[in-house]
Structure 1
Amino acid sequence: MSTQPLRRRLLLPALYIAAAALGGCGTAPEAIPPAASAEALASELRVLVFRGGTAARLGHNHVLRAGDLHVDWPAAGPVLRFRLDALAVDPPALRAALGEGFTSAVDDEARAGTRANLLKALESASHPEVVVRTVHQVGEGARRAVEAEITLHGVTRRQSFVADVDGRRARGQVVIRQSDFGIQPFTVLGGLLAVQDELVVQFELVQP
């Protein structure tokens, strides 16, 4: 049996905020890719989605990038919002930058199929926007303990994580679970192919 149709069916129900390249299924990320230069610095949010299932090697890890990320910076800390229908799925340059674990090729047809399945799974017509609102920060130096409210798929959850903050710039990562937001992680063929419940969200924020 050809593995290509299976790859194309590997859905990425995913969203969110902050973390780094993964060398394979189920292992923890180690580092966020280098920040942009000062001249090119702009806010960016990426979501890493990891393959699972008994035949995980037939699928891909995936990366989503918020295409219309908006950042406000009230006194409590940054508020981000982006639309699910503006997510970029597996941009080749970003996959290359993530390195090991993201080196497999994903063609245009597979990206289009993944995008369509993703928007359907996230019910983007009913819940088109993701919002992350800083609630509280602890710390006096660059390293902060942050608590934020994440609204996704019509569900709002509080999440704690660590971020590096310098004035109105912030950088960090967070692990979230799809199931916490009422999203059923994708599986097909009795668990032969799946995506893992945990998503890694990486963010680099700047307020001009």
Structure 2
Amino acid sequence: MTTTRRQLLVALAALAGCSSAPRLPATAPHPDTVPETGDNELRVLVFRAGAAARMGHNHVLRAADLRVDWPAAGPVLRFRLAALAVDPPDLRARLGAAFASAVDDEARAGTRTNLLKALDAAAHPEVAVRTLQQVGEGPWRAVEAEITLHGVSRRQWFPVAVQGRRAQGEVVVRQSDFGLQPFSVLGGLLAVQDALVVQFELLQP
């Protein structure tokens, strides 16, 4: 690869994958800086794709305003896309080598802009996960839940580990199943994978 072409690809990666966006006013708390509160957490792992994937980053999103209700069937989770914390440094550090690359404030702002646009957050601002049924007993459970994203609801089964009042699990969600086109630019040179890994940890009151 020539030096000129390499420099061009680097510049395109910076612009498309983590393009800059207007900063929030200093008086407004930015979701990326909101400290984690309570004992419930939901995070989404977003993986890079495309021919120039090595120039981009994997991303992790935290539901900073996660609300959890506990009806008889099982937990109902809701969070706003606009409140997602993008690449919190403490969370990236916990996730190991795949998330070890540094992501600065400008890059996070660009990722947020691309993310909210790709998810059509203005038209469909909230995500909901509603437990429908559970099977199993003790620490081993299989849960069927209804996931609503982008105004589309899908049912999905996934395993959950239960210890006392604490439940932990993860589920793979494909953006295309909800009518979403995964972020992609330059003919797919830079993109994110269709499949998102959603991890959660919940504490029942």
TM-score range, shorter-chain basis?
0.7 to 0.9
Name the one with the larger helix percent: 2
Structure with max Cα Rg: 2
2:13 corresponds to 1:6: yes
Specify the code of the residue in structure 2 equivalent to 1:182.
G
TM-score normalised by length of structure 2:
0.83
Match of 1:51 in 2: 48
CA distance in 2, matches of 1:4, 1:205: 41
Matching of residues 154-193 of structure 1 within 5 Å: 154-193=151-190
Tell me which of 176, 196, 199 is aligned to 1:199: 196
Structure 2: gaps of 5 or more residues? 1-6, 19-36
Deviation at 1:165, TM superposition (A): 2.0
1:110-147 per-position Cα deviation (integer Å, ceiling 9, x unaligned): 10011112112211121111000000100021110110
Match of 2:66 in 1: 69
Higher RCO structure, 1 or 2 (CA under 8 Å, sep 6+): 1
Deviation at 1:72, TM superposition (A): 0.8
2:156 corresponds to 1:146: no
Match of 2:129 in 1: 132
Change (3 A) 1:75 1:166: farther
Deviation at 1:4, TM superposition (A): 5.1
2:102 corresponds to 1:95: no
**Sequence identity percentage:** 73
TM-score normalised by length of structure 1:
0.82
Structure 1: gaps of 5 or more residues? 12-39
CA distance in 1, matches of 2:134, 2:51: 41
CA distance in 2, matches of 1:203, 1:106: 23
Deviation at 1:7, TM superposition (A): 3.5
Q: CA RMSD in A?
A: 1.5
Instruction: Indicate if the aligned counterparts of 2:44 and 2:197 stay in contact, CA closer than 8 A.
Output: yes
